């Protein structure tokens, strides 16, 4: 995530803010500029708040009163007006969605437009909901907005990490796979790395839930769920790549760097200086900054009695898959790369 300052007083403000907590100037996010703008002077009259300002707790701006912003416009179905609990969960999920839509715009990925990509955000209290992706429509179970329920499912499934942001990034992985892998040669390479995606999905699903992941999954996969089918391996890897890019960008924006732990013989592999324009770098450089940062952040979390911020290890085959995703995200985003973002 980028960092933001109030356009009126220069105080630190955050992506989610609707007002500066220092000087009370109203703020709104302008997606076309990727800026949190102080709504005073011309900006106050030329821009309007998203029509879902209240419903989705949305702080994004639009051109004309009554329009939906670039994130809210992607939501095709939501809980009905009478479903108060569903609407509260919707606001939480839309917050995570704005964060990932912002990242997609920042990366310059194509296809983040209504008509091509849509979200059905549904409450499973009302009807059975299967989180998933089909033909550009991403379905999300809003029960996953509830911390207690999500944590219960995380524990039941033995997952080290489960968040709404993670669900959105995973399902977007399915959406982007055919958009950013292009041509027979690329697909052949993808199948070499992730396995043959033409394998029967229903059978793979049944096998996964009957037998679980192979014991040695961590030697080849980023998560146990990734072992289920090559599609899921791609989606898990793509989501993981977005985690890395966002977290590195945030560290760079705040000037976080790691000189390495004091107690050990230092070598280069324990130092990190995250760079804001990570996309222009080779994946090796991204990784050289990522790993030392995660060692430090995990140690910091443990000092607070919290679980590791980054509860993953990256085996060499996983790194090769991430490198493939990096290459294809960069290739699909010429505009962002050219702008040096
Ligand atoms: Zn201010
Ligand atoms: Zn909105
Ligand atoms: Zn999936």
Task: Tell me the H-state helices in the chain.
Answer: 42-46, 84-107, 147-157, 164-180, 184-194, 201-211, 230-253, 283-303, 316-332, 334-339
Longest dimension (CA), the chain: 62
Ligand nearest to the CA of 26: 1
| pLDDT of res. 229 | 97
The partner residues of 29 in beta bridges, in order of sequence, read 36, 60
Q: What is the mean pLDDT of residues 100-118?
A: 96
d(CA 214, CA 243): 25
Long-range contact set of residues 316-321: C-beta below 8 Å, sequence gap at least 24: 317/193, 317/219, 317/220, 317/221, 318/220, 318/221, 318/222, 318/237, 319/283, 319/287, 320/193, 321/193, 321/194, 321/222, 321/233, 321/237
Q: CA-CA distances (angstroms) from residue 151 to 156, 205, 305? A: 9, 23, 17
The rounded radius of gyration (Å) of the Cα atoms in the chain is 21
Question: How confident is residue 336, by pLDDT bands cut at 50, 70 and 90?
Answer: very low
Q: How many CB atoms lie within 10 A of CB 84?
A: 9
Number of the ligand closest to the Cα of 226:
3
Report the separation in Å between the CA atom of 229 and the middle of ligand 3, taken as the mean of its atom positions.
9
Around 311, how many Cα atoms within 13 Å sit in the side-chain half-sphere?
12
pLDDT at 43: 84
Strand partners, 141: 122
* Structure confidence at residue 112 (pLDDT): 96
By the 8 A CB rule, do 13 and 6 touch? yes
What ligand has the least distance to the C-alpha of 56?
A: 2
Ligand nearest to the CA of 68: 2
**What is the DSSP secondary-structure string of 211-241?**
H-S-TTGGGT-SSSGGGS-HHHHHHHHHHHH
Distance from Cα 58 to the centre of ligand 2, integer Å: 5
CA of residue 46 to ligand 1 center, whole Å: 20
pLDDT above 50 for 174 = yes
How far is the centre of ligand 3, averaged over its atoms, from the C-alpha of 231 (Å)?
Answer: 7
Q: How far is the CA of 260 from the centre of ligand 1 (A)?
A: 36
CA of 340 to the centre of ligand 1 (A): 28
| Cβ–Cβ < 8 Å for 105, 113 | no
**Per-residue model confidence (pLDDT) at position 323:** 97
- Cβ contacts of 246 within 8 Å, gap of 6 or more: 1, 99, 103
Question: Considering every ligand atom, which ligand is closest to the CA of 39?
Answer: 1
> Which among 309, 330, 338, 298 is positioned nearest to 109, based on CA atoms?
330
Whether the pLDDT of residue 295 is over 50: the answer is yes
> Among all ligands shown, which has an atom nearest to the Cα of 170?
3
Between the two ends of the chain, the Cα-to-Cα distance in Å is 12
Q: What is the DSSP letter of 7?
A: T
Among all bound ligands, the one having the nearest atom to the CA of 62 is 2
Contact criterion met (CB below 8 Å) for 106 and 145: no
Q: Which ligand is nearest to the CA of 12?
A: 1
- What is the distance in A from the centroid of ligand 1 to the CA of 39? 11
Tell me what pLDDT residue 263 has. 79
Ion ligand 1 nearby residues (CB, 5 A): 6, 8-9, 11, 20, 22-23, 25
- Of 322, 156, 110, 97, the closest CA to residue 226 belongs to 322
Give the distance (Å) from ligand 1 centre to CA of residue 12: 8
Among the bound ligands, the one closest to the CA of 48:
2
Asked if residue 50 lies in contact with residue 58, where contact means CB atoms within 8 angstroms, the answer is yes
Q: How confident is residue 266, by pLDDT bands cut at 50, 70 and 90?
A: low
What pLDDT sits at residue 337? 46
- Residue 98 Cα to ligand 1 midpoint, Å, equals 22
Q: Which of 306 and 340 is assigned the larger pLDDT?
A: 306
270: DSSP letter: G
Residue 165's pLDDT is what? 97
pLDDT at 278: 66
Residues 242, 103: Cα–Cα separation, whole Å: 8
30-42 b/e with 16+ CB inside 10 Å = b? bbeeebbbbbeee
**Centroid of ligand 2 to alpha carbon of 56 (angstroms):** 7
Ligand 2 centroid–CA 67 distance in Å is 9
337 vs 240, higher pLDDT: 240
**Which one of the ligands is nearest to 235 CA?**
3
Q: What is the mean pLDDT of the chain?
A: 93
**Rounded distance from Cα 48 to ligand 1 centre (Å):** 19
């Amino acid at each position: 995530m980028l960092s933001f300052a109030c356009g009126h007083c220069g105080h630190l403000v955050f992506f989610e803010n609707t007002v500066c907590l220092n000087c009370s100037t109203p703020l709104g996010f302008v997606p076309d500029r990727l800026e949190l703008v102080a709504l005073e002077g011309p900006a106050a009259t030329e821009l309007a708040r998203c029509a879902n300002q209240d419903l989705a707790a949305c702080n994004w701006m639009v051109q004309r009163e009554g329009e939906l912003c670039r994130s809210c416009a992607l939501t095709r179905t939501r809980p009905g007006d009478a479903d108060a609990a569903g609407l509260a969960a919707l606001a939480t999920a839309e917050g995570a969605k704005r964060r990932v839509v912002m990242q997609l715009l920042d990366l310059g990925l194509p296809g983040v437009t209504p008509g091509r990509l849509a979200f059905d955000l549904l409450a499973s209290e009302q009807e059975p909901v299967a989180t998933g992706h089909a033909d550009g429509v991403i379905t999300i179970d809003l029960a996953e907005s509830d911390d207690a329920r999500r944590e219960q499912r995380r524990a039941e499934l033995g997952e080290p990490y489960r968040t709404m942001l993670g669900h959105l990034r995973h399902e977007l992985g399915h959406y982007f796979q055919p958009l950013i892998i292009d041509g027979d040669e690329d697909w052949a390479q993808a199948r070499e790395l992730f396995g043959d995606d033409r394998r029967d999905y229903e059978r793979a699903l049944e096998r996964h839930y009957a037998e679980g992941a192979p014991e040695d999954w961590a030697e080849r996969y980023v998560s146990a769920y990734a072992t289920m089918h090559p599609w899921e391996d791609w989606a898990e890897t793509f989501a993981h790549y977005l985690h890395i890019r966002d977290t590195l960008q945030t560290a760079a924006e705040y000037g976080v760097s790691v000189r390495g732990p004091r107690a050990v013989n230092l070598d280069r592999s324990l130092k990190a200086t995250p760079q804001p324009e990570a996309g222009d770098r080779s994946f090796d450089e991204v990784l050289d900054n990522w790993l030392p940062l995660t060692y430090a952040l995990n140690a910091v979390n443990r000092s607070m009695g919290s679980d590791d911020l980054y509860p993953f290890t990256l085996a060499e085959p996983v790194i090769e898959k991430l490198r493939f995703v990096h290459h294809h995200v960069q290739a699909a985003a010429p505009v962002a790369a050219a702008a040096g973002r």
